[in-house]
Amino acid sequence: MSADVIRFAGVCKRYPMGETIVNALVDASFTIREGDFVSILGPSGSGKSTLMHLLGFLDSPTSGEILFEDRPIAEISPDQRARIRAEKIGFVFQAFNLLPRMDVFANTRLPLTYHPRPPADAAARIWNALELVDMKNRAHHRPGQLSGGQRQRVAIARALVNEPRILLADEPTGNLDSRTAATILDLFTELNRQGRTIVLVTHDPKIAAYSRRQIHVMDGRIIRDDA
Ligand code: ADP
Ligand code: MG
């Protein structure tokens, strides 16, 4: 059995909305293990982004427990949590979120600049990440000179440059045409085949079909998990 990366135990997230309360996530329990390729599938408003924010500890649960590498994150200081997030979690977003004035190489380097001391092998790591996504030959282009699919490849390289424990992708193909989307999903499949742990959020069953396990959410509840 592979090591646990993230475990949710009875996790709830409630948002106050004036006089009422929105139950964005209700009693979610599941485990993401090393080497998993999991999609979180559900319609708009079902709680996917809420779940993703909790997975990246960008937000805290209202109740229940989240463990990262077997440690309850509620027991980790905010500073330490930010550091774990920076070093061990790679994020990929629908809108790519590249910095337009920096070239591909500098964008990919960004997560390394958050280290107290840049790693000695920084340049090698950047080239390696760019090679993984087949973007080495565009290292000195700026995002504006790239297609959408190429931009998302760079964003994936940036997410990988720290060699994170887990990659979290929220609707990563939402801004791409279906053919380009398929190439990005093939890339995730290949990265997972190489051993990377991936969680992919999507509303589209065709995209979820690329993953090896689907967690279906509806109205804040997990209604199916084929773990
Ligand atoms: P999805 O990503 O699947 O579209 P979300 O996680 O964004 O779903 O939202 C789940 C539910 O929680 C929705 O009903 C949404 O309106 C509500 N919600 C999300 N964020 C907030 C917030 N900050 N305050 C109040 N309600 C929120
Ligand atoms: Mg969402």
Looking at ligand 1, which residue's alpha carbon is closest to its atom 7? 49
- Tell me which of 12, 14, 15, 203 to substitute to probe ligand 1's pocket, judged by most ligand atoms within 8 Å of the beta carbon: 15
Mutate to test the pocket of ligand 1, among 23, 40, 50 (most ligand atoms within 8 A of CB): 50
Q: Which two tokens stand for residue 163?
A: 């060699």
Q: Which domains does the chain have, with CATH numbers?
A: 36-58+77-225 (3.40.50.300)
Determine the pLDDT at residue 42: 98
Using a 6 Å CB cutoff, which residues line ligand 1? 15, 17, 22, 24, 42, 44-50
In ligand 1, which atom is closest to the CA atom of 50? 6
For residue 117, what pLDDT is reported?
75
The number of the ligand 1 atom at minimal distance from the alpha carbon of 220 is 10
Q: Which atom of ligand 1 is nearest to the CA of 43?
A: 3
| Reported pTM | 0.94
pLDDT number for residue 20: 95
Instruction: Calculate the alpha carbon distances from 181 to 123, 157, 176, 213 in Å.
Output: 29, 16, 6, 19
Long-range contacts of the stretch 23-28 (C-beta < 8 A, 24+) = 23/219, 23/220, 24/50, 24/220, 25/50, 25/51, 25/54, 25/61, 25/220, 26/219, 26/220, 26/221, 27/64, 27/221, 28/64, 28/221, 28/222
pLDDT along the chain (227 residues), means of 10: 94 95 97 98 96 95 97 94 92 94 96 80 94 96 96 95 95 93 95 97 96 97 94
Confidence at residue 33, expressed as pLDDT on a 0 to 100 scale: 97
Q: How much is the pLDDT for 227? A: 82
* Closest CA to ligand 1's atom 15: 45
CA-based nearest residue to 41, from 207, 193, 176: 207
Q: Which ligand is nearest to the CA of 24?
A: 1
- Which two three-digit tokens encode residue 97? 């979120």
Task: Read off the tokens for 177.
Answer: 């045409």
Amino acid in position 188 = F
What is the Å distance from ligand 1's center to 87 Cα?
A: 27
Query: Which ranges of the chain does DSSP label H, i.e. alpha helix?
Result: 48-55, 78-88, 104-113, 122-132, 148-160, 178-193, 205-208
Based on C-alpha coordinates, what's the Rg of the chain? 17
**226 to 65, 176, 177, 203, 217: CA distances (angstroms):** 22, 28, 28, 17, 12
Q: Whose alpha carbon is nearest atom 10 of ligand 1?
A: 47
